[in-house]
Structures are given as structure tokens and as C-alpha cells.
Copies of this chain bind each other. A is one copy, B any other.
Amino acid sequence: MLNENLIGVPGGRWKLQTPALVIDIEALERNIAVMAAHAERRRVALRPHAKTHKSAEIARRQISAGALGICCAKLGEAEALAAAGIDSILLTSPVVTEAGIARLLALNAKIGALAAVCDDEAIAAHLDAAAARSGKTLSVVVDIDPGMGRTGIRPDRAPPLVERIASSPNLRFAGLQCYAGQVQHMESPNERRDASLSALKELAGLRDLLKAKGQDVPMLSGGGTGTFDIDPDAAVLSELQVGSYVFMDRQYNDVWTKPGSRPPFETALFVQTTVISANRSGLVTTDAGLKAFATDDGVPVIAHGAPAGASYFFFGDEQGGVIYSEEHGKLKRGDAIACVVPHCDPTVNLYDIYHVVRGDTLEAIWPVDGRGRSA
């Protein structure tokens, strides 16, 4: 495997063949510990979202630190992580096709604790029939739309769906999911707080209504890295679906960097790239372009390896560019540069392997088990 020969070699981190996805293992470990301590202090469970890392190794570390399982976004991702040994998964997107439901029930037969979300009564009927054929009850969580209209059902329309699921002989009503994706990246802390607590207030209303009808609601799952410290105040969610905190990225660093304070989590993920052309003054070309970073939100931020003030830009599908002032040093062919990624989840999805580094040493290579498993 590429770069395997560098494991344990002093300074090997800076000799990686690139573009390479790099994890700073010490920062990752601290991020997992900080979130675990937060959850314990605030008496909320963690079910970290594996759509960020798609890695069984990282999922195991999160579970070892106290998480009660993980979330997966897609069936293929859940299948990959289950095959790698993860036994407790909440699948957070609805599965609605015949072929998808067949795969869902096959996965349900294989692992200890699977729960699927549902936002429609007709689909609930399909799930019930498929579970009957499979001979094993399926746990179903009702997906609540917190107002963004992506997936889920609005709280006022949810009770009949809950009742439909709870009364289905082959389904178990496992609870409610409410993920306010639109709130996570609001940069104003007050707006973020108000928006998240307002969505959770609706969820609390639904929970109370169901309880008044005698319907137990075992799980209330939601929240993210943008609201991890806000949501426990609402005392509604039983578990947090935090994902990006393990790695952080430029987006979440922007959300969390405030005057006079540091983000609660460290940047643990980098894309490392190498200078391949240097025939201009104050400009070099690297080997990481549009295929090496997700590009939905801006450009990479240079963290190591370039003179102060250098900036990165996309220079086509295959290359990046670095503009810098030669007063602060000169870049040359072969130089390694590490970048904070604009958006971690879709960037991870571009790579087959993580290069796990401790300081300047490459310590291990981990597979990105769920890479590309969007179907």
C-alpha cells in the first residue's frame, strides 16, 4: 500500500506520497475525550455520526470512550461499518425503495442493534411487511422535520405515524430523530442557540403529547457539532449525533473561533500535498486540486509547510496553487504542505486511507471503510 513503507520512519510524515489524508492522532484522541467528558457532565448520551469519518477504527474509539453506538447516513456506509464489526447503528436517512428495504432487513438480521428512520406511513407499512418476511423485528425511529424540509415529518403531523409504527406487529417504535442541519453552521452564537432550542421545543411538545397518550419515547436523537453545548440545555435529546468534532474543518473552525476564545475541538484532519512545479516567483503548484478536496465551501487553509501569509487556491482538477511572498521563505519542488480542509465529511469521502501521524511520525494507516458508499 502507498506510504506503508514510511510507518515508524522518523520524519516520515513529511515524506508521504500525496495528496494524502492525514489524521493528527493526538488531536483526534483529545477531541474524542473532550466530547465524552461533555456528554458525561451534561448527562446526555453520544451516538456520533460516522458519515464524517466512515471509519470502524474511529467508531470503536468513540464507543470505547462511552458512545452507545454510531449513526450512519446511508445503507452502504452502515453495511461497510457493520462488516468491520460495528454492532449498534442508527441509519439517519429514510430507506424507501424495495431493493433498499431488502438490504435494510438483511443488515438488521446481521447486527445487534439497528434502527432505521421513517417519515411516511406508506413506507412504514412496507417496512412492517419486509420485517415480517425477515422474521426479525425492526426498530424504527420517526424522523422529525425541524423546519428545514429536508427529511422528516413536521411534529404536528407525526402522531399518526408514531401510532402506525407502534402498532405494527413487526416494527418497534424506537423514538424520534430531529436534526436541525440548517442551524449547525450559524456563526452567531445567539442565533444558533435560539434556532436550535426553538426546534427542540417543538420536539419536546411532541414528546409530551405522545407520553400523555401513553406512548413511551425511548430515544430522542439529534444535535451536531455546532450545537453540542446548547442542546443539553433543552433537556429533550437523549443522545447527540455529533460528527465533525472528531476532525474539525475550516467551516466549524469559523463557527467556533470567537474573539478571545479557542474552539473546543482541535483540527485533527489535514490534506497533505507536495509542490510539483516552481517556475514562477511567489507561486508554486501542488498536487492537490479539485479531486483532493471537497470544494463546496471555499479553499483549504495552509497549516504547515509554507511561508507565513501563503494562501492556497484550486488550480484545476489535479493541482493546487500557493501564492506567497518570497520575503518569508521560498518554496521548492518536493516541499510538503499540510492544509486544513474546507469541509471534512465530503473530503474524507475522496480517500481510501487515512495516514495516522503522531508528530512527525506516520504511526498507522487506517481504511476509510465507508468511502464512496453513498448508495
Contacts and interface: CB of A to CB of B under 8 A. Distances in A.
Given A74-B318, A291-B345, A375-B17, A149 B283 contact: yes
Given A73-B317, A150-B321, A375-B19, A291 B349 contact: yes
A314 interface: yes
Nearest to A294: B290
A280 B151 CA distance: 10
Nearest to A283: B149
Contacts of A96: 274-277, 333-334
A215 interface: no
Contact of A292 (B100, B283, B317, B374): B374
Interface in A108-156: 119-120, 122-123, 145, 149-154
Interface string A266-309: 00000000111111100101011011101110000000000000
B287 A319 contact: no
A346 interface: yes
B277 A151 contact: yes
Contacts of A159: none
A312 B32 CA distance: 36
Contacts of A294: 290, 295
A89 to B, nearest CB: 15
A15 B375 CA distance: 13
Contacts of A17: 97, 99-100, 103, 375
A20 B291 contact: no
A2 interface: yes
A18 interface: yes
A20 to B, nearest CB: 6
Contacts of A371: 372
A351 to B, nearest CB: 7
Contacts of A207: none
A352 interface: yes
Nearest to A316: B181
Contact of A279 (B154, B295, B350, B351): B154
A8 interface: no
B152 A279 contact: yes
Interface of A: 2, 15, 17-20, 51, 73-74, 76, 93-97, 99-100, 103, 119-120, 122-123, 145, 149-154, 157, 181, 274-280, 283, 285, 287-288, 290-292, 294-296, 314-319, 321, 333-334, 343, 345-346, 349-352, 371-372, 374-375
13 contacts: A15-B97, A15-B99, A17-B103, A73-B317, A73-B318, A119-B279, A150-B285, A151-B285, A154-B279, A157-B279, A292-B374, A350-B350, A351-B372
